[in-house]
């Protein structure tokens, strides 16, 4: 078990990649704080983890609200005593071409995907900085954040932004024994990508040398590696998990 007895806080853990990551971490021995906007989803994931014989708590959080984030962190520390890993997985899309995108569409995605990562990381980093063994912060970026994508100005901006934050924090927090990295998934089969046109998904599948889309497990495995002591000398990195779609 690569994460035995580590405490992991995962946002956006109620479904998709977040849910799969929470369960993966539990299978690797971690104690998991499952955080999401949906209480019902949180309770379902906690139930699945407990069914594996692992410890978990469910937390309802709005990552755009500083007080909600503060309570999430406080409740995690109160229950487990520390936080070893933060996975900033919470994210949304609200797509439109530049000439049609509204300010509301822009700001909504910025608030969750960028400001939410800042708020969660700042709150958790304060806890990790006081811990003897520091911790690990992992940001969910995207292939889109590195290369851009038609109709996703807001999403691309946030996913590029979390890479910049990860690299900055790696430089700032290394002396506190805190590692910070980003994972950049390609097109993954999730409820979010289910909203994309089928012809687009087929096109992306065809571009991958592996001839398939990714699965949430592919990303969860990457997070588990980066969170583990096996990655103890990796910080400030961006791990692309995209099936080679950009080669």
In Å, the largest CA–CA distance within the chain is 51
Q: Burial-class residue 118 by CB neighbours within 10 Å (0-12, 13-18, 19+).
A: middle
- Go through 35-45 and write b for each residue having 16 or more CB atoms within 10 A of its CB, e for each that does not: bbbeeebbebb
The catalytic position among 147, 155, 215, 223 is 155
Residue 223 known to be catalytic: no
Residue 87 dihedral angles phi and psi, to the nearest 5°: -110, 110
Distance CA 84, CA 3 (A): 10
Burial class for 237, CB neighbours closer than 10 Å (0-12, 13-18, 19+): middle
Instruction: Give the dihedral sign, CA 49/192/138/77.
Output: negative
* DSSP E strand boundaries for 29-177: 31-36, 56-60, 85-88, 135-140
| Residue 28 CA to its chain's centroid (Å) | 17
Phi-psi bin for 91: left (phi > 0), alpha (psi -120 to 50), beta? beta
Strand pairing of 178-185 and 56-60? Answer: unpaired
> Annotated catalytic sites, by residue?
155
């Amino acid at each position: 078990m690569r994460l035995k007895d580590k405490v992991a806080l995962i946002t956006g853990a109620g479904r998709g990649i977040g849910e799969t990551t929470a369960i993966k971490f539990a299978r690797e021995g971690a104690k998991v704080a499952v955080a999401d906007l949906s209480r019902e989803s949180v309770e379902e994931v906690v139930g699945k983890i407990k069914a594996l014989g692992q410890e978990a708590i469910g937390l309802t959080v709005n990552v755009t609200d500083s007080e909600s984030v503060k309570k999430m962190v406080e409740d995690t520390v109160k229950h487990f005593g520390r936080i070893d890993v933060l996975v900033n997985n919470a994210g949304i899309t609200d797509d439109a071409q530049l000439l049609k995108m509204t300010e509301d569409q822009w700001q909504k995605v910025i608030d969750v995907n960028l400001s939410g990562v800042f708020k969660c990381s700042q709150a958790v980093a304060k806890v990790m900085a006081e811990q003897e063994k520091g911790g690990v912060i992992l940001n969910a970026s995207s292939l889109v954040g590195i290369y851009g994508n038609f109709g996703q100005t807001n999403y691309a901006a946030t996913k590029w932004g979390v890479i910049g934050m990860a690299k900055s924090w790696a430089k700032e927090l290394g002396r506190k024994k805190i590692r910070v990295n980003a994972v950049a998934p390609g097109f993954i089969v999730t409820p979010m990508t289910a909203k994309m046109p089928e012809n687009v998904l087929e096109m992306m599948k065809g571009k991958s040398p592996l001839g398939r889309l990714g699965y949430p497990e592919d990303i969860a495995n990457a997070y588990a590696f980066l969170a583990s002591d096996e990655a103890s000398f990796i910080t400030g990195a961006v791990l692309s998990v995209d099936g080679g779609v950009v080669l």
